[in-house]
Homo-oligomer: A and B are copies of this chain.
Amino acid sequence: MAADEPQSGEDRLIATYFRPLATHPGALGLMDDAAVLSPPAGHDLVLTVDAVIGGIHFFPEDAADLVAKKALRVNLSDLAAKGAKPVGFLLTLALPERTSENWIALFARGLGSDAKHYDCPLLGGDSTRTIGSVAITVTAFGTLPANTMVHRSGAKPGDMVMVSGTIGDAALGLELRSSGDTAKRWKLGNKANYHLTHRYLVPQPRNALAEAIRNHASAAMDVSDGLAGDLAKLCASSGVSAEIDVAKVPLSDAAASVLAVEPEALERMLSGGDDYEIVCTVSPDRIEEFRAAAQEAQVPVTAIGRVIAVKAPPRFVTGEGKRLQFKRASFSHF
């Protein structure tokens, strides 16, 4: 920039904190109206967008670097579920007037650290004031070989239902964050408390599993609004049902210890949001290859049930043969 060009506060903040993240050549150094992407020949582009809003998706007092990571990672999780490799992202940042420059600096530091780690640089964006609380919208882009995106709609009767990682931690983490008494009620030590709280605060998207999903899964989605409801959506898209063995749903040690004290927490764990794990279906003749690829990627995966040839919501059956009925199978904003 010419030294004597009048530079606004907005321009200065972008140049200082966000231009260093715009390492993709298509970002044009955040100096143009738009970014440009050219997916490799024979590849499709996968697009996903998610907003996170203070007071809705995070607590306004959460550390800005963790807020930034959450905003990016919820989108990376969608790319992982579709089998796509991250390419870059666009950012919209709406900030209330009282936002300090320290907050912005910390936000950009968290975002930059993740952009580097996940090889997903900033492509462009928009910044604005808002009269509400901080609102962050990330649009993330991924690529994959043409026509290989994994849809929700491909599940076939007989397929195994697989999930990554552990389920229900984040729902419990949110309860811990929301009330100071909860840890005591659940008799949780510091380590278990931290584990669950952190699982809510900072999702761990399963991008390492993307290739295994693309090569072997018949259908997949990320578990963001609760396993029960998200699996119901996958089943509805595929025109099938599933029978889930609740005893097989993988739990962290911390979550298992909560269940020992409060067995009725199970429903909230299976229908609460923010897991950011993957649920996918895999044909029995691909299951060994899928497991091997997941192991190679160092992502734990667990078989929790089977797809069945009925058009109906999935059935969650306990070890005692009882079918769980969910009051609300998944999170909904409306």
Contact = CB atoms under 8 A, between A and B. Distances in A.
B129 A334 contact: yes
Chain A interface size range = 35 or more
A57 B129 CA distance: 9
A34 B47 contact: yes
A81 interface: yes
A312 interface: yes
Nearest to A135: B135
Contact of A237 (B31, B126, B229, B233): B31
Which of A8, A33, A41 has the largest number of chain B CB atoms within 10 A? A33
A37 B48 contact: no
Oligomeric state, in copies = 2
Given A34-B82, A49-B92, A333-B127, A4 B56 contact: no
Interface in A267-290: none
Interface stretch (A144-152, A194-202, A295-303, A316-324): A144-152
Contact of A9 (B28, B131, B334): B334
Contacts of A56: 128-131
Contacts of A328: 6
Interface string A93-114: 0110000000000000000000
Contacts of A222: 33
A329 interface: yes
Contacts of A92: 49-51, 92, 137
A3 to B, nearest CB: 8
B129 A132 contact: no
B46 A34 contact: yes
Interface string A164-188: 0000000000000000000000000
Contact of A90 (B4, B6, B47): B47
A153 interface: yes
A1 B47 contact: no
A240 to B, nearest CB: 9
B6 A229 contact: yes
A65 B331 CA distance: 28
A135 to B, nearest CB: 6
A233 B30 CA distance: 12
B126 A51 contact: yes
Contacts of A1: 236
Contacts of A239: 2
A36 interface: yes
Contacts of A311: 2
23 contacts: A2-B235, A2-B313, A9-B333, A10-B332, A10-B334, A31-B152, A31-B153, A34-B78, A37-B44, A37-B47, A38-B39, A47-B139, A47-B141, A49-B90, A49-B91, A50-B92, A53-B132, A56-B128, A56-B129, A56-B131, A127-B333, A127-B334, A135-B135
